Amino acid sequence: MIRFILKRLTSAIPTLFVIVTVAFFLMRLAPGGPFSLERPLPPQILANLMAHYKLDQPLWAQYLDYLKGLMTGDLGPSYVYRDFTVDELLLQGLPVSIQLGLSALVLATLIGCALGTIAALRQNRPADYSVMAVALIGITIPNFVMAPVLTLLFAIHLGWLPAGGWGEGALVNKILPVFALALPQIAVIARLTRGSMIEVMRSNHIRTARAYGLPAHVVVGRALRGALLPVISYLGPAAAALLTGSVVIESIFGVPGIGRHFVQGALNRDYTLVMGTVVTVAVFVVLFNLIVDVLYAWLDPKVRLE
């Protein structure tokens, strides 16, 4: 098991390396720079700034420099948020984003699996149809529509929850963003669970368990073990989708996470900040895929860890 994990981790290094390289050069190919403002800076000041941030050196030297910094965990200074290093900015935002993303993931998995199981056990009955209808709505209505609607309903009309802000992580501030973020994933997971659950319930070992007259919750529990496999393998893409979705959710609800650094950084050509965000997100995606693989192997004895 440990060897498997180590092997996967080492195979992730070239992937991360390619990601860093592609992102670095793509970013630099884009026209404009962090200091091309609407009112151009005087040439000497600009030259000094460029020299200070080592932007006047050839691109490959900057690239090597960045790699060297990356090895020691130094992501460099932010060009736009002066007085902040990228490390500081990410450390501020990351706990918030992780809280938001993980809560959404847990919520989506729990509710999605529960709804999918109910739908599968009541196949082609009203409960099934209503769950699937809700899931279809969840898939077709993008979360940037859902989020303002939820705000309108719960924050403005009913006044139960705050419309935005993070409030130092108070629970009431989390409910709306987490729910808005989780909703599309709830829909996907419910559909996945239903499909695989229906298949598993027809399989031989479940029929046998039923024939033995085992109580319903035992049968369902055994079926779930098999039926959750597709859901587990979906968790990797789901985590990536949550990271993406959080860009929008964080800006709608004014949550101070790292999602907003994506867009703002790219628009401001804040090279180091964007690179830092990309590296962080890539590390998370790779880590998450690893966790998913391990979980998968643990649940499915047919998969051998090699």
Partner 1 sequence: MSNATADAAIIPARDLEKGRSLWSDAMRRLRANKAAVAAIFTLALMALACVIGPMISPHPFDKVYQSYVKARPSLEPYPTAEQIQDDLERALRRARVTIDSFSVEGDTLAVTLSADEKIDPRMTRYIDRVDAFANARITGEENDGRILHIEADVARTLFLAGTDQNGRDLLTRILIGGRVSLAIGLLATFVALLIGVAWGAVAGYAGGRIDQLMMRFVDVLYSLPFIFFVIMLVVFFGRNFILMFIAVGAVEWLDMARIVRGQTLSIKRQEYVEAARALGVSQWHIIWRHIVPNALGPVVIYMTLLVPKVILLESFLSFLGLGVQEPMTSWGVLISEGARNIQDAPYLLIYPSIFLAITLLCLNFIGDGLRDALDPKDR
Nearer to partner 1 by Cβ, of 69 and 237: the residue is 237
Is residue 233 at the binding interface for partner 1, with CB under 8 A as the rule? no
Is residue 67 at the binding interface for partner 1, with CB under 8 A as the rule? no
Determine the residue type at 115.
L
At closest approach, how far in Å is the CB of 229 from partner 1? 19
Query: Which residue in 214, 263, 290, 305 binds partner 1 (CB under 8 A)?
Result: 263
Please identify, among the stretches 49-57, 81-89, 145-153, 209-217, the one whose residues bind partner 1 according to the rule CB under 8 A.
145-153
Put residue 91 in one of left, alpha, beta given phi > 0 → left and psi -120 to 50 → alpha: alpha
Q: Which of residues 191-220 bind partner 1 (CB under 8 A)?
A: none
Cβ neighbours of residue 252 under 8 Å, at least 6 residues apart? 144, 147, 148, 151, 164, 177, 180
Please identify, among the stretches 1-9, 23-31, 44-52, 113-121, the one whose residues bind partner 1 according to the rule CB under 8 A.
23-31
> What's the CA gap between 41 and 39, in Å, rounded?
6
Tokens at 81, concatenated: 């948020």
In this structure, what DSSP letter does residue 73 have?
T
Is residue 244 at the binding interface for partner 1, with CB under 8 A as the rule? yes
At closest approach, how far in Å is the CB of 111 from partner 1? 21
Please give the size of the binding site for partner 1, defined by CB under 8 A.
Answer: 44
Strands (E), the chain: none
Is residue 49 at the binding interface for partner 1, with CB under 8 A as the rule? no
Please identify, among the stretches 69-77, 99-107, 283-291, 296-304, the one whose residues bind partner 1 according to the rule CB under 8 A.
283-291
Query: Which residue in 141, 214, 291, 295 binds partner 1 (CB under 8 A)?
Result: 141
Query: Which residue in 252, 255, 258, 292 binds partner 1 (CB under 8 A)?
Result: 252
Cβ neighbours of residue 186 under 8 Å, at least 6 residues apart? 107, 108, 111, 112, 115, 135, 138
In this structure, what DSSP letter does residue 162 have?
-
At closest approach, how far in Å is the CB of 211 from partner 1? 26
Nearer to partner 1 by Cβ, of 147 and 219: the residue is 147
Ordered alpha helix ranges (H), 53-170: 59-71, 86-121, 126-140, 143-150
Is residue 139 at the binding interface for partner 1, with CB under 8 A as the rule? yes
In whole angstroms, what separates CA 197 from the centre of its chain? Answer: 26
C-beta separation of 30 from 23 below 8 A: no
**Residue 16, CA distances (Å) to 59, 67, 216 in order:** 20, 11, 46
Where does residue 211 rank: exposed (0-12), middle (13-18), buried (19+ CB within 10 A)? exposed
Is residue 229 at the binding interface for partner 1, with CB under 8 A as the rule? no
At closest approach, how far in Å is the CB of 141 from partner 1? 5
Residues that bind partner 1 (CB under 8 A): 14-15, 18-19, 22-23, 26-27, 29-31, 136-137, 139-142, 144-145, 147-149, 151-152, 156, 240, 243-244, 247-248, 251-252, 262-263, 266-267, 274, 277-278, 281-282, 285-286, 289
